[in-house]
Amino acid sequence: MEKIKPKITNWIGSEKGKDILIVLVVILVGLGSFELGRLSKQNSSSGIKIEYPNKDPGQTETQTANAVSVVNNIPKTTSTANTIKTFFASNRGTKYYSIGCSGGKTIKQENRVYFTTKEEAERAGYTLSSSCR
């Protein structure tokens, strides 16, 4: 060990050793940043919901919460069993598609918003995709 220690110290002190160490540090910082970004975007749709009592006209704005509950996987849309969903759109996009249209097949199921009629989709701000006409 005593023979290797001076060789490593000399190599780190050389220009080539410093360049290699800088490259390794940059690569490790980049990988760490990438992984932290992935961790922050994981699909954990849990949150805290704070419920306030019904506000009386005479109350001030600084009221305290009367209930705190943890909400997991809040649904984006609600569907009933007797309504047929014939159109869908991405919750991030501006176009809507009919169920049989191949243009919307790349939209993930968890990102889809469903509608029963064209009018309902257009009221929500979506326009019909040109691939579904």
For residue range 11-23, list pLDDT tens digits in order.
Answer: 888 888 889 999 9
The number of folded domains in the chain is: 2
Write down the pLDDT at residue 76: 52
CB 103 within 8 A of CB 70: no
Q: Tell me which residue range forms the domain holding 105.
A: 87-132
The answer to whether residue 27 sits within a structural domain is yes
In a domain, 12, yes or no: yes
pLDDT of residue 17: 86
Q: Of the candidates 118, 115, 93, which has an alpha carbon nearest to the alpha carbon of residue 106? A: 93
User: Is there a domain that residue 118 lies in?
Assistant: yes
Domain membership flag for residue 59: no
Contacts for 86 with CB less than 8 Å, ≥ 6 apart: 98, 99, 115, 116, 117
11, part of any domain: yes
> Domain for residue 99, yes or no?
yes
